[in-house]
Amino acid sequence: RSRAELAAALAAAPGPRAVVMTMGALHEGHFDLVREAARRVGQAGTVVVTIFVNPLQFAPSEDLDSYPRDLEGDLAGLTRTLTGVDGALGVGRLVVFAPTPEVIYPAGQPSVRIDPGPIATVLEGRTRPTHFAGVCQVVLTLMHLTSPRWALFGRKDAQQLAIIEAMVRDLAVPVEIVPVDIRRESDGLAMSSRNAYLGPEQREQALALSRALRAGRDVAVEAAA
């Protein structure tokens, strides 16, 4: 949980390294990122999974306090995901970093802030004007703390992915960003930790987006035939 413990764990784990940054409440979408990270590092490498509910990316009226947390379940899921049929861990080393806000932001509030620029002011950024600045702050901090070769992010959060790619490019961060495809529920809903908030009626409404995307795809395929 501390920076010193993380540094010691990484020092004891030579070889290629990949990081998967999460806020916990892990699901199969997260585990897809972990599997791809394990595939890239191989038996000689290390997968780092960070579990941190970042207060800087929540506005005062948002769900920081109620965001689902299940560290014990997350650890069990990670072990299950990476363990092969022979009972061996399918990667050289798994390091889980689950810090408190005081560990990530020792001064309480960062003195130096990341400004993600105009790309963060459209789409989701129109209703969450401080969100992506908080995301960039924690992502860059965790990149420095974990020093990975690869950092894996889901395509579900497309705007976030584009902003992180721009930040890494513009600040010359020596990390390769690896996008991973969306994992969906059987009914087509994109997997998300916040899906737990949805009641039956809200879940049905949420399916409108995936249904519209599939319908648009089908029309495009027919037109190209």
- Kindly list the averaged pLDDT for each block of 10 residues, start to end, along the chain of length 225: 95 94 96 95 94 96 93 96 71 93 94 96 96 98 98 97 98 98 91 90 90 91 89
- Nearest CA to 142 out of 25, 6, 15 is that of 6
Give the Cα separation of 50 and 47 in Å (integer).
10
> Which DSSP letter does residue 177 get?
E
Q: Are strands 93-97 and 150-154 parallel, antiparallel or unpaired?
A: unpaired
pTM here is 0.91
In the chain, what is the straight-line distance between the N-terminal and C-terminal CA atoms, in Å? 55
- Other CB atoms within 10 A of residue 105 CB: 17
| 190 three-class SS | strand
For residue 48, the cross-strand partners are 19, 95
Give the Cα separation of 120 and 130 in Å (integer).
9
Radius of gyration in angstroms for the set of CA atoms belonging to the chain, rounded to a whole number? 18
- Domain range summary for the chain, segments of one domain joined by +: 3-183, 188-225
Q: Looking at the domain that runs over 3-183, which CATH code has it been given?
A: 3.40.50.620
The catalytic residues are: 30
> Which DSSP letter does residue 181 get?
P
pLDDT by residue (tens digit) across 84-131?
A: 755 667 778 999 999 999 999 999 999 999 999 999 999 999 999 999
